[in-house]
Structure formats: C-alpha cells, structure tokens
Structure 1
Amino acid sequence: MYPLKFEPIYKEKIWGGRALEEKFSRKLPAGSIGESWEIAAHENGTSVISNGNLAGKGLMEAIKEEREKILGVEAKEDYYEKFPLLIKILDANDKLSVQVHPDDEYAHQYENGELGKTEMWYVIDAQEDAKLVYGVKPEVDKDEFAASIKEGRLEENLIEINVEAGDVLYMPSGTVHAIEEGILIAEIQQNSDTTYRVYDWNRMGQDGKPRELHIESALDVIEFGAEPEDKVVGLEIKEDGYVRTILVACPYFTTETLDITEKYSADTNHERFYVLMGLEGKAKLSYEGGEMDLKAGETLLLPAALGEYELIGECKLIKSYIRDLAELKAELEELGYSQEEIKQIKGL
C-alpha cells in the first residue's frame, strides 16, 4: 500500500470565501467556498482517490476491496460500513450560524441512523481580533436559552472568545458554537453532516429568505450548565528532530501536531490508518516503494499496511487516528507523565 491522496470536495456556502486559494494556491471553483472536504465518505460527499493504482475509486469502494490493508487490524466492524472520520478545512469569510450537533444516540434515533458529531478545530489563520462562539454561559438553563431566542437577545447568553493562528478547540457534541468571520480552520470530526442551527445573525439565505433553524432539536441536545471549555493546551513530547503535541484523545479520534525540524519516523504496524494534514512548510514522505511531498494545505491517508515511513524537512502537520484510550493513557504513564500533565489532553 501507499499514501492515498484525494480530490478535495468543495462546498459553496453563504459564509464562504476564497482563502484556500490565497493561503494554499488551490484552484477553486467559482463562488464563495466555505468547506473543503479533504477526506470524506458520506452520502453528502465521498472522496475519490487521485493517485496510484487506486486512482478513480471512491474511499469506501477502496475500503471494500482492501479493508484490512487500509483500515488496519484494530478497525471496528462498523468502520467497514461507514468510515469514522470526516476531515475538512473551513473558510469563514463571514459568520457561520450559531449551531450545535447531537451525540450518537440522538442522531441515530432522529437522523436516520446518522452518527453524532464531536469535533476539534485547529486555527490555521485568523484576522486580527478574530472571535468565535464557544459555549453557553453556565448559568443559562434551557428555558432562559429558549426565551432569549424568541426575544432576540440570544447573543448575551453565548460565550465569545478571541482566537489566533495555532489555537485549538475541542467541541464535544452538545456544545453550542459558531465560527465568526476571518478564520481558516482545520476540522477533525466524526463522519456526520448533521447540524442544528439555533441562530443565523438575522441574515437572509441565497434565496433571499431566512435559512432554516432547528431550535427544538437544538434544545434537546445542548449541554446546559456545562463549565466553559478552555482552549486546548495538549501534552508536549520533545523528541530528537521533532516535537509531538497530543491535543485531543476522545472515543472518536486522537489528534496531535508534529513540529518537525529534521526528521520524524514511524510505523503504521498494520494496526490502524492515520491522516496527515500539512499546516506549514513542506516535508518529503518516504516509505517502502516510493516517496512524495507533503505540503501545507495537503491531506493524506496513510493506510495501516503502509509500514515504516519517514517525514524529512521543516514542517508542521496534524496527525489524526483512532486508538484505545486506556492504552494511550497507560503508555503516557509509563513514559513518566503525571495525571496533571495527561489532563492537558482534551477528552482523555
């Protein structure tokens, strides 16, 4: 097997822009492009492999042919029916709606078997004084939240924070959130496209009418009374030639950044697949049978059967995968990290 590249799936959005063109020299279709689905296997968009002998095949088609080689021996059976992750880049040229996503149980019951949506964001770029909505004030209950929507004063009940490039945020299902204008974000999430809009800043949609809201469903799934989440700090692990920072480790995905100054070596060990997204710089990815460049703005899937590989160069990237959390925690404890240090990893 070899590292898989995909054709991005571009989604025009009322809040989108052209930042992918400016930041990563992407050739975009016309319009306001709000989302690039980098790796996807969803009914609303399925990635097509663009390199090697699997070129032209959809991701799930390739998985059906090469299940264990792509997903790994540790992959759960349901991964064969629905790929577990959806990897995106979001360009918020304008504000996204204030929204929330359901958990697995609610989505399965009310959204035709869909998955819930827990996600994390890495801020790739942000204009000066960029902000986003990151939760509901803890003193606000369901009744007050509903009343504030009806009375047109919802914004006073939302938590708004400033963000800058390099910030990381973790969004468990049930968290009210909204990306505001001038932010480019890498999003790692469960494979779900279910969103409940709560508030859309009183704007009109492309048809000149207000966009649909989903207030009753949102009220069902919002986690009221939750303490505000902090930005993700992560656990930094310094190694020779690179720094690895584990950011999020939850049941749905583990994500870390790799700051490579010289070389990073690893092995997929036939256990699981990995997703690499370039953030800054460029590296040469070498593996048995070949090599390729990984540049900022590019995303690759490393199949479980890839084996040993090296990244050589100066770059920063996000590495995403799924693994047993108890094993990860035990591994970190064995390396000598304290419980307080491990708690810097969100979701663990």
Structure 2
Amino acid sequence: MSQAMSGEQPGGAASAPLRLPANFVPRFYRGGSRLGPFRRIATGPYDGEDWVGSTTQALGAPEGLGPSRLADGRLLAEAVAADPEGFLGPDHVAAFGTSTELLVKLLDPDERLAVHYHPDQEFARIHLGCAHGKTEAWVVLDAPADGAVHLGFREEVSAEALAALSQAQDSVAMLAALNRVPVQAGDAILVPAGVPHAVGAGVFAVELQEPTDWSLMLEHAGLDLGEGGEWHLGLGPDMALAAVDRSGWTPERLAELRLPAPLPLAPGVARLLPERADPFFRAESVSAGALLAAAFSVLVCVDGELALVDEAGGRTVMTAGESVLLPYRYGRCALEGSGRAVRCLPPPTDSAAVTGAR
C-alpha cells in the first residue's frame, strides 16, 4: 500500500486512512486456505477468521485475542477512546458513545461450520448483560460451484422438537431441517439474530456483525470451544434454546434478507444489504467514481487497485487483499482506479432511535 498510513493528529486521532494488518483469530474449525493468499500472508490450519477493525475480545480465547492493532501497534479501541469524535464523528458519539458499533471479519471456512445462532439485543441485555446481540451479514467473495449456506428452519419447530434436536446432536437431521441456500461471489445475505445457520465449506466472505462474539451452538458434539467454553454460554440449555428463532423461513421470507442485485446509490456506490440491516450496519460496493462522505468505515479491497484521493489531493493506493480504516476526520474522498472494495459502516445515527442508544 503506497503512502504512509500514519497522519495522526494530536490526541491520537487520524487524518489519513489507517492500514489494518491481518488479525487472525484461530477457531475450532479448519480454515484459511483462501484467506492466506488473499491477504498475502501465511496462515495456520485454523486461521479461518481475520478480524478486521475489531474492538471485540474473542470468547474462550486468551485476553487480547480479537481486538485489532493499527500498524503503529496501538489497539484500535485505544485510538478511538483517545479521540472518539475524530474517529467516529460527533453525531455517532452522541448516538452510540465510543462504541464503533461494528465488527468486520474475513471468514474462510475450509469445512462446514457447525449449526449455530446468536442472541438478539433484548436477549443479550437481559441474560448476558450486554447492549449488543449479534445480527450479522455475509458478502460472498468466492464460493465453490456447489457453495451454499444453511439458513433458518424450513418449517416452524416446536420448543420440544428443538430440545430433542439439540439433545440428539444429529447433524444430518439438523441440516435437513434448515434451508440450503446456494451462494456465489457477489451475493450478500443478512442473518438476523436468533436464526440458526451454518456456512458451507469454501464460502469466503466479508462478514459484518454487531461488535460481540456471542455464539450459541445448536450443533456442538465434539467441538473444542476453548477454555471454559460451553455451547450455551453458561446460560444452561433451556435458556440458551429460548434464543433460537423457531419460525419457518419460507422462500419469500428468505428473499427479504437479500437484494436481487446491488442497488445503485450514487456513481461508483451500490447498497449490498436490504434496509432492515441498517439498524445494525451497512455494506456498500464502491469503485471508481465514488465520492465517499466523511464516516468511520472499514474498506476491504476485493479486486484490482483503488486510489483514495482526499480533498487536498493526497492519494492512498490499496490493492486486492488490503483493508483500511477511514476515520471520520479523514473527511471526504474520491475513488479512482479499476478495483472494487466492500465498504463496511456502522448504523446511521438515526438508528439509535430504532434500536435504543447503546
């Protein structure tokens, strides 16, 4: 990446794009065979997740695993805390405080992920003492010809049937109860909290999430969930299963979780997720001709080469596999070049009125 990525202002704020080095968080599943070449760095057999722009601690992992460090060695969380308005903008701070409201990952499983689900905000607030649940979304970068995700029960499942399914740990029966959704590069799918799901082997994606690591495992037999790890997060099976969305997800309901195609918003900018994602995060495809407003955001260059041109004419070039954080204080920038990036943003500030200020 050309141009020095420092530009720090007094007090720790940044006035230039900040490079986000790879931040692998080893998990219990095998992964990383596409992620390593994409990031141009060696990966281990369990490096299937790169937490990009993270202020979130990984559950069941050593302290400090999960939060991102900037190229100068500072934790992103520390840099934001030193100058929240510089990084996040005054409106964001007024609505959400110093929380970035966003966790971005590169997800690269080499095997199918176990069926799991995440608590919503209300459940997390009441039972986990946390303001955030874990609604998430996938922006697919690559997938095999038969690539698929499993998402939502095909038909409504009773509480008794769900408990029996969990106790039996019958993987075949679990997958049969879920919708199999074929995916290919370019697809973007919202995954509401509570909906059981599993990403198939070889599906490489940018993943946007609320900034937590809450996961409840419907399929958990034989998994190593880390030190002190329990599939039910210590809540007990009955309470944990109460967080599952047991409703049936028909093809019509599933269609509401994605757009038929990226929705053009402005030259070089297209919305990737339906509006129902906005209270949690936003994702855009950006390319040459885009004029990006000042906002805290994470850019992942997924193809070719892009130049970010600031209002003073300064240029920062990023190529496929690189990611940068744009602080609010960086201001507006224009994009030039032949590449494309996924731009990940927190919810708009008026979403605080919908979800409740954190």
SS in 2 for 1:145: helix
Write the distance in 2 (CA, Å) between the matches of 1:278 and 1:223.
Answer: 34
Q: 1:298 to 1:73 in 2, by over 3 A?
A: same
SS in 2 for 1:37: strand
Determine the structure 2 residue equivalent to 1:108. Answer: 125
Q: How does 1:48-197 map to 2 (within 5 A)?
A: 48-50=69-71, 55-77=72-94, 79-113=96-130, 115-151=132-168, 152=170, 153-197=173-217
Write the distance in 1 (CA, Å) between the matches of 2:180 and 2:240.
Answer: 19
Tell me which of 324, 327, 335 is aligned to 1:303: 327
Write the distance in 1 (CA, Å) between the matches of 2:208 and 2:302.
Answer: 14
Q: Which moved more, 1:219-228 or 1:180-189?
A: 219-228
SS in 1 for 2:74: coil
**Deviation (angstroms), 1:147:** 2.1
Q: 1:111 to 1:8 in 2, by over 3 A?
A: farther
Matched, 1:285 2:305: no
Write the distance in 1 (CA, Å) between the matches of 2:291 and 2:98.
Answer: 31
Aligned residues: 313
The TM-score with structure 2 as length reference comes to 0.79
Write the distance in 2 (CA, Å) between the matches of 1:81 and 1:310.
Answer: 27
Name stretches of at least 5 consecutive residues in structure 2 with no aligned partner.
1-14, 59-65, 352-358
Amino acid at match of 2:290: Y
Q: 1:192 to 1:21 in 2, by over 3 A?
A: closer
User: Which structure carries more relative contact order (alpha carbon 8 Å, separation 6+)?
Assistant: 2
- Asked whether the equivalents of residues 139 and 205 of structure 2 are also in contact (C-alpha less than 8 Å), the reply is yes
Q: 1:290 to 1:56 in 2, by over 3 A?
A: farther
The TM-score with structure 1 as length reference comes to 0.81
- Asked whether the equivalents of residues 84 and 98 of structure 2 are also in contact (C-alpha less than 8 Å), the reply is no
Matched, 1:213 2:213: no
Q: 1:18 to 1:324 in 2, by over 3 A?
A: closer
**Deviation (angstroms), 1:297:** 2.2
Write the distance in 2 (CA, Å) between the matches of 1:80 and 1:61.
Answer: 14
Q: How does 1:22-33 map to 2 (within 5 A)?
A: 23-33=37-47
Determine the structure 1 residue equivalent to 2:280. Answer: 252
Q: Which moved more, 1:280-289 or 1:77-86?
A: 77-86
Greater fraction strand = 1
- Asked whether the equivalents of residues 248 and 256 of structure 1 are also in contact (C-alpha less than 8 Å), the reply is no
- Asked whether the equivalents of residues 7 and 48 of structure 1 are also in contact (C-alpha less than 8 Å), the reply is yes
Name stretches of at least 5 consecutive residues in structure 1 with no aligned partner.
327-348
Write the distance in 1 (CA, Å) between the matches of 2:204 and 2:30.
Answer: 10
SS in 1 for 2:139: strand
Instruction: Report the aligned-residue RMSD.
Output: 2.6
Write the distance in 1 (CA, Å) between the matches of 2:213 and 2:28.
Answer: 17
SS in 1 for 2:285: strand
**Deviation (angstroms), 1:289:** 6.6
Q: 1:8 to 1:109 in 2, by over 3 A?
A: farther
**Deviation (angstroms), 1:293:** 1.5
**Deviation (angstroms), 1:106:** 1.4
Matched-pair identity in %? 26
Q: Which moved more, 1:74-83 or 1:138-147?
A: 74-83
Q: 1:21 to 1:150 in 2, by over 3 A?
A: closer
Q: How does 1:327-346 map to 2 (within 5 A)?
A: none
